[in-house]
Amino acid sequence: MSLSDKPSLIITPMDLTTLDTFRIAIGVAILLYVANCMLNQKVWIRKTFSWGTKEEYPKIFQMNIIGGTLIGLFLVASPFLF
């Protein structure tokens, strides 16, 4: 068996589809919203259509931070994992 009989390893760049790029962009936007909420300690409340503080709406703030982080990271990482 000679060296020419071995299959060559070809390293190609990962091809991202338009949908993958869109998912990454949406994920980054969600993560930026989470970062804004963390820095300002406020969350957008649809009920009153205004920003509410962490102290006024602690559960909604916590759900936004945890949920937004998980969803944002999933959207950004999924094109590279699957």
Q: Is residue 7 part of a domain?
A: no
Q: Phi and psi dihedrals of 51, rounded to 5? A: -80, 135
Residue 79 lies in a domain: yes
- Dihedral of the alpha carbons of 42, 69, 25, 78, in degrees to the nearest 10: -170
Judge contact between 14 and 20, C-beta under 8 A: no
| Residue numbers of the domain that contains 65 | 33-82
SS3 52: strand
Q: How confident is the model at residue 4 (pLDDT cuts 50, 70, 90)?
A: low
DSSP state of 45: E
Say how many domains are in the chain: 1
In a domain, 80, yes or no: yes
Stretch among 7-11, 17-21, 24-28, 61-65 having the lowest mean pLDDT: 7-11
Return the percentage of the chain with pLDDT > 90, whole number: 73
Question: What pLDDT shows up at residue 6?
Answer: 63
> Cα(2)–Cα(58) distance, rounded to whole angstroms?
68
Domain-embedded: residue 55: yes
Give the pLDDT confidence of 47-80 residue by residue, as tens digits.
999 999 999 999 999 999 999 999 999 999 999 8
81 found inside a domain = yes
